[in-house]
Structure formats: C-alpha cells, structure tokens
Amino acid sequence: MCRVKNIRGFTLVEIMLVVIILGVLVAMVVPNLAGRGEQARRSAAKADIEANLATTLDLYEFDNGRYPTTEQGLQALLVQPTSAPVPTSWNGPYLKKKKIPKDPWGHDYIYVCPGVRNAQGYDLSSYGPDGVESDDDVTSWAEEQ
C-alpha cells in the first residue's frame, strides 16, 4: 500500500486572492492598451502620405516635370496617363506593389493636384476611420492652429 502524506491544496481564499490580484492587474493594463490600434492606423496613414506616396509622387514629378493631375490621379503612378498633359518621360510603374494602396481603414486616399492647400504641389489625405471629411482626417498639409 502506498501512503500519501502531507497532501496540501490551495484553499478557496488563496485562489480568490490570486483571481483578485489578476483582475486588478488587468484593470490597470487594459486602459493603457486601448486606443493603440487606432493610433497605429493613424501612424500608418501618416507614413503613407508623408513618405511612401510622397516619394513616388516626387519621382513621377522628377521624371515628368509635374505631378499627375487630379483626373490622372494616383493611377498615374502605375499606368502611363493618356489624358492631357500626357507625360513624355514616364518611367513607371512607380509603386513597387503594382497597386494603389488603400488607407488603413480600407478607403482610397484623396489626391488633388494642383492642391487647394498646396497650390504649388498636391493635397493628399485620408478621411480616417469614418470615411468622411472631418476632424480625424490625416493630411499632407499642416493644420492651422
């Protein structure tokens, strides 16, 4: 016969104490993480607007002497435009992935050239999570204070 001596388990009080401590820790950490997903999407849109698309638009402008018109749109970075002014030195496609990226919320970026805010260049923006023009937009121009 095998005898088991001094077998001890956790008491209900000990288990409840651990559960309460874990609950307090979760209550402290979760609010700090909430909203980080939205912050990451805004950062990704800003990177697309200020770096990725801006660089490809600048390359297009360097080759052709002007940015694509609003009518030609960002599509001019993939396929040589046939509408006026037709670029004579188009050297694309300028986008590596061979498709126009969407913003992190799945909407098209808004491209206007010549820009309303930047008459010498273009305006590039994302309408943000709501998909309509509002205060949460991510833009290529500095907001007036």
pLDDT in tens, the chain (145 residues): 566 666 677 788 888 888 888 888 887 777 766 667 888 888 999 999 988 999 999 999 999 999 999 999 999 999 999 999 999 899 989 998 888 999 999 999 999 999 999 888 999 999 988 888 888 889 988 765 3
pLDDT of residue 143: 61
In a domain, 34, yes or no: no
In a domain, 111, yes or no: yes
Nearest to 131 by CA among 71, 41, 55, 24: 41
User: How much is the pTM?
Assistant: 0.73
The domain that contains 107 carries what CATH number? Answer: 3.30.700.10
pLDDT of residue 145: 39
Number of CB atoms found within 10 A of residue 108's CB: 14
In a domain, 67, yes or no: yes
Distance between CA atoms of residues 57 and 95, nearest Å? 10
Residue range of the domain that includes 59: 40-132
Domain count, the chain: 1
Record the tokens describing residue 114, joined without a space. Answer: 């010549």
In a domain, 143, yes or no: no
CA 84, 90, 96, 97 dihedral sign is positive
In a domain, 118, yes or no: yes
